[in-house]
Amino acid sequence: MKLVLLLISFLVSPALLAALHEENVEYRAGDTVMKGYLAWDDAKGAKQPGVLVVHEWWGLNDYARQRARMLAELGYTALAVDMYGDGRHSEHGKDAAAFMNAVTAKAGLAQQRFEAARELLVGRPNVDAAKIAAIGYCFGGATVLNMARQGLDLAAVVSFHGNLVTETPAQPGKVKARVLVLNGAADSFVSPESIDAFKREMTGAGANYRFVDYPGVIHGFTNPDADRLGKANGLAVAYDAEADRKSWAAMRELFDEVFKP
């Protein structure tokens, strides 16, 4: 009987009952209401590193949420960031371009919205405010690189198939974050010239960075919906399972280095 009771106690222990938590959150950036998505697993620790997930140009959709959940399963509290306001997203290229251009056309707006999300994340009681990173895809990849260029207090940023071009290049000593760029070598949206310029910029700024090319891989390689979306919108994007796996592993390796003792 004692053995049975012990087994029952073990099976219903709080650690085993704990599950992935999901929460839709509203916050403000200036006068705009932002609608983000939080994911965490309290079985992974009382104080966790936080990771901001910045969406592709499609907006805050299920794909960005899935990446946040994947991070939560690894022991991070992840916030899928709303960069467009009111949770806007679309599967139509014209709409997505309009959403993105509305943010990028106004100086400082992207940073304001990113920092509002960061403030929300570091304020969570289960987040270690000294351990914050950011990852981004496509538009989001460019966004997190620009936040690193501006010297935001981030432990690491990871860009997946993100644009490398910027009007505000990093200045010497400015970049605090470890920088990881994961790029498709056949990406028609990222020119060889922009890659060379990015490497010169990071070297000149004294940044701790790593650039990884995946041969034969094109834009959007991490998103399983890329083929469908590309066909519907006439875009040169495609999913690549191997590059997806390798790029996620590279991100995990970096986070292990910057977050674990």
In words, the CATH class of domain 18-259 is: alpha beta
For residue range 29-72, what is the model confidence (pLDDT) as tens digits?
999 999 999 999 999 988 999 999 999 999 999 999 999 999 99
What pLDDT is attached to residue 4? 39
What pLDDT is attached to residue 150? 97
Q: Exposed e or buried b for every residue in 148-165, given b needs 16+ CB within 10 A? A: bbbebebbbbbbbbbbbe
8-state DSSP, 117: H
What pLDDT is attached to residue 16? 40
Which helix (H) or strand (E) segment is 217 a member of? none
In the numeric block, which tokens belong to residue 24? 């839709």
pLDDT at position 153 over 90: yes
Whole-angstrom Cα distance, residue 160 to residue 239? Answer: 12
**Is this prediction's pTM over 0.85?**
yes
Cβ atoms 59, 88 nearer than 8 A: yes
Q: Exposed e or buried b for every residue in 65-76, given b needs 16+ CB within 10 A? A: bebbbebbebbb
Residue with the two structure tokens 């028609």: 188
Whole-angstrom Cα distance, residue 132 to residue 49? Answer: 6
pLDDT at position 14 over 60: no
What pLDDT is attached to residue 260? 84
Whole-angstrom Cα distance, residue 54 to residue 60? Answer: 8
pLDDT at position 261 over 80: no
